[in-house]
Structure 1
């Protein structure tokens, strides 16, 4: 009897649709990072007010806090590829109005605020659709590897885009916004050439409740716990950004050296993203979740105890390295067990809870610094990280994930790549095991 031959899995480097999705997003992230740097520079050059620059930043980020849940419902109800195409078109058009207003010297603050809010709104929608699309353009055994490459894309584009925004603004106020608009056009074109659908079958247009993602997330004990751990660590990282700046200055670091410190930290994050898939395949999910939190706690102790600016920078970079290991492991697990018709809303629910901690971290970090000073503030947040690590260790839902084996190196699944959703019923069984 001849054995049935399993379908061959296309490597990611040869997966046309994944490469188109990945490269289009990489280009658009590069452009949006450059314009993010250029926005405050533009406002300062236009109005001369730092307060106005702060308002623009706040308005541009506001959709991430307010609109993730309603946007996620649209991502599940409408065709995701079409949604992403329209998002790119709207973003490019919005930025073009900035360029045209600068060309005729008629740019005013309300115009910038509207464009910032519109771009932020459609960017939230685009990112939710892109996240939900990943399992449909790669084989199920490659989701972790695809997310690892996405992490590397985000961090690499951010590292390049940050200095690029300042450089381009120096060449002309409109230049970074021209680049950003063009990158959205490139992203749109890559989407037009992708052949696979971004969801199982055709989207259903019956009424779907926007809160279904939150309800599903709340019923899944592990993901609920992981989301609160993410929120807690996001609060810590945002606060530590301010604290590390002050601590490095207290240790005699110049502003230029502090900039180098954060550049090295970004590079460590890029290395972590490249190692994330290998880590996910070697260790089970519980080990990664518990281990990441304790590594952060140990590195926080180093930051508190050291009086050396190089050790401070190395410890902070180490924290950035660990982040992608966590992101890829938890997100790949979430994508694997979430029913496809809920992917957008679950991503939105996780995003709004995790992002909600970021502005809170800024407020708490600034207040703690003001009241206690950098050393005492760092000690307070070290205690906070130890509490998070202890909670992860004691969590029954986290420990129980050990029964889900880590991703094998030679994972082979009977379903051909991108063939829809034949394996979902078993994955739903995992999600429903509460």
Structure 2
């Protein structure tokens, strides 16, 4: 069998996304810094964050059937180009003196919309690019790519922002266009031929929801992911504000977020080996308890680098969870349904993001950093208890057994 890294189409797809993910990490670090330096309002930062994540709530469900129906290669290409053009409008507006928070909301919304379509198309196309027994390794490689970008991106983003407020967004826009160019060289067909006439869009969306609802393991897993996504989306804004109150500069905050992401990168490398040895119960319950224990430690920090270290510990365990769950989905769910199932899953797990961003801004305004951290820690503790008591999670066999049973 051809080794994964000698798979030309996977390497092209993965390499392009390394560049794009790095650019996105750079601009996402600079976005709250740009808002806070422009208006000084945590609520405005929360609104911009909500705009960027709103597509996960409103677009995921209809996007899934479209990804299964439309040309996935074209979806990938258009998503990268539109996101790149949108990001490039930010430095132009800053240099022209016409930049507004409203424009940034529109740009982040478009970037989030492209992320939704690209992510669903990539998830659905990946099983067409790599064989089933290499799927877990490919997903772990994607995790490493994403975590590596978020490791390098924040320090670069903070440093670039310190030099010129427009620079991080210029770099991100260019990175999207480079990734789009890489997609032009893909050879493989990224979807199976449709069988029979396409069902109506609303019915196709319901098909994905119905599949998720009737699989207890996937249903409970997604609910737990939704809670953790809510907590950590709100937490990022809280930590940026906390670091600023501790005297951190833009570069300090970038370094803090880089340390945070380093834990995720190490976790992605570990997950490529550990996923075969850990049961769903061990992943779902264990990860939630690790987070429940670690979140209150942010209250003990006195410097941005300490925040980064605690964040690295929380990020280390995340990739294992992602690899376990998405390997199961990629193998078990029929590929012609995968876009719809992933869109239904994304509506629930990513749809909480805009609410979380707004909640983070509101909590900071009403309770300050200490009250916000206590509130988020309490939510995570409740999730850990729920995971422990869930009958579906308790009865789950080991991941290798699940994958083996799914093979024809």
TM-score if structure 1 supplies the norm length? 0.77
Q: 1:199 offset after TM fit, Å?
A: 1.9
Distance (Å, rounded) in 1 between the aligned partners of 2:209 and 2:219 = 9
Q: 1:260 offset after TM fit, Å?
A: 4.3
Verify: 1:143 aligned to 2:122, yes or no: no
Distance (Å, rounded) in 1 between the aligned partners of 2:36 and 2:119 = 29
Q: 1:365 offset after TM fit, Å?
A: 5.3
Mapped contact 1:31–1:183 kept (Cα < 8 A): yes
Equivalent of 2:396 in 397, 401, 405: 401
Residue aligning to 2:175: 183
Mapped contact 1:92–1:181 kept (Cα < 8 A): yes
Q: 1:254 offset after TM fit, Å?
A: 3.8
Mapped contact 2:4–2:10 kept (Cα < 8 A): yes
Larger radius of gyration: 1
| Structure-2 change in CA distance of 1:233 and 1:40 (3 Å) | closer
Equivalent of 1:278 in 273, 282, 285: 273
Distance (Å, rounded) in 2 between the aligned partners of 1:302 and 1:357 = 24
| Structure-2 change in CA distance of 1:118 and 1:204 (3 Å) | farther
Distance (Å, rounded) in 2 between the aligned partners of 1:98 and 1:376 = 34
Distance (Å, rounded) in 1 between the aligned partners of 2:84 and 2:100 = 19
Residue aligning to 2:55: 63
Mapped contact 2:54–2:353 kept (Cα < 8 A): no
| Structure-2 change in CA distance of 1:315 and 1:338 (3 Å) | same
Equivalent of 1:20 in 9, 12, 16: 12
SS in 2 for 1:210: helix
| Structure-2 change in CA distance of 1:245 and 1:160 (3 Å) | closer
Distance (Å, rounded) in 2 between the aligned partners of 1:368 and 1:105 = 32
| Structure-2 change in CA distance of 1:376 and 1:107 (3 Å) | closer
Q: 1:228 offset after TM fit, Å?
A: 0.6
| Structure-2 change in CA distance of 1:77 and 1:363 (3 Å) | same
Matches within 5 A, 1:181-260: 181-201=173-193, 206-208=198-200, 209-241=204-236, 253-255=246-248, 260=255
Residue aligning to 1:155: 147
Q: 1:294 offset after TM fit, Å?
A: 2.1
SS in 2 for 1:225: helix
88-97 or 211-220, which deviates more: 88-97
Q: 1:229 offset after TM fit, Å?
A: 0.7
Q: 1:61 offset after TM fit, Å?
A: 3.0
* Partner deviation per Cα, 1:54-108 (whole Å, 9 max, x = no partner): 6554433322221111122211111211211222233344445556667777767
Mapped contact 1:155–1:270 kept (Cα < 8 A): yes
Verify: 1:320 aligned to 2:315, yes or no: yes
* Partner deviation per Cα, 1:402-425 (whole Å, 9 max, x = no partner): 1653699xx9xxxxxxxxxxxxxx
Verify: 1:83 aligned to 2:62, yes or no: no
Distance (Å, rounded) in 1 between the aligned partners of 2:39 and 2:298 = 37
266-275 or 79-88, which deviates more: 79-88
Residue aligning to 1:419: none
Q: 1:192 offset after TM fit, Å?
A: 2.0
Distance (Å, rounded) in 2 between the aligned partners of 1:81 and 1:265 = 33
Residue aligning to 1:127: 119
Distance (Å, rounded) in 2 between the aligned partners of 1:102 and 1:377 = 32
Mapped contact 1:285–1:406 kept (Cα < 8 A): no
Structure 2 gap segments, 5+ residues each: none
SS in 2 for 1:401: coil
* Partner deviation per Cα, 1:313-368 (whole Å, 9 max, x = no partner): 64442111111111111111122211112211221222221123334445555666
Mapped contact 1:282–1:406 kept (Cα < 8 A): no
14-23 or 94-103, which deviates more: 94-103
Structure 1 gap segments, 5+ residues each: 1-7, 412-425, 430-434
* Partner deviation per Cα, 1:239-271 (whole Å, 9 max, x = no partner): 444565677789xx5425666443322111111
Residue aligning to 1:427: 406
SS in 2 for 1:196: coil
How many residue pairs are counted as aligned between the two chains? 401
Distance (Å, rounded) in 2 between the aligned partners of 1:72 and 1:61 = 17
RMSD: 3.8
SS in 2 for 1:352: helix
Residue aligning to 1:262: 257
Residue aligning to 2:284: 289
